[in-house]
Amino acid sequence: MWKCEVVVGAELDVEEVAELYRASTLAERRPVDDRERFAEMLRAANLVVIVRSEGRLIGIARSVTDNVYATYLSDLAVDREFQRQGVGQALIRATQEAAPPAKIILLAAPAAVDYYPKIGFTQHHSAWVL
């Protein structure tokens, strides 16, 4: 069985997290091989939720939040072996519960564009990226 826990990103093993990003396919779109930059992404994120199954890291939600208005969910990754078992949804729920008044904002990866509407997100037609 697995459960979500809120952790301090800086305390995670960077290589273990990089391995999870690879196992989920998210590593194709994140700088996991630039160790310094990836370590800083983990260190500076102020809301990190993970899931372990028998000690093995199988899921992560990495966000930046002000706790009261907006939570930017930058990375959501679930190990391929454990996908479609509710882990992703549990990570999002735990992220929301950690900062309940804040709305969650994210950019969907190409592989996940059909996922977010399915779990209750609404598409925003005036989102912009610089």
Ligand X SMILES: CC(C)(COP(=O)(O)OP(=O)(O)OC[C@H]1O[C@@H](n2cnc3c(N)ncnc32)[C@H](O)[C@@H]1OP(=O)(O)O)[C@@H](O)C(=O)NCCC(=O)NCCS
Q: How is residue 60 written in tokens? A: 């992560």
Residue 87 engages ligand X in binding (rule: CB under 6 A): yes
CA distance between the termini of the chain: 41
Among 20, 41, 77, 98, binds ligand X (CB under 6 A): 77
Closest approach of ligand X to the CB of residue 5, in Å: 16
Residue 3 engages ligand X in binding (rule: CB under 6 A): no
Rounded Cα distance, 94 and 49, in Å: 7
Please tell me the total number of residues recorded for the chain in this structure.
130
Radius of gyration for the alpha carbons in the chain, expressed in angstroms and rounded:
14
- Residues 90-129 touching ligand X, rule: CB under 6 A, are 106, 108-109, 111-112, 114-115, 118-119
Within the chain, how many helices (H) and strands (E) appear? 4, 5
- Residue placing its CB nearer to ligand X in the complex, 16 or 68: 16
User: What residues make contact with ligand X under the rule CB under 6 A?
Assistant: 24-26, 76-78, 83-89, 106, 108-109, 111-112, 114-115, 118-119
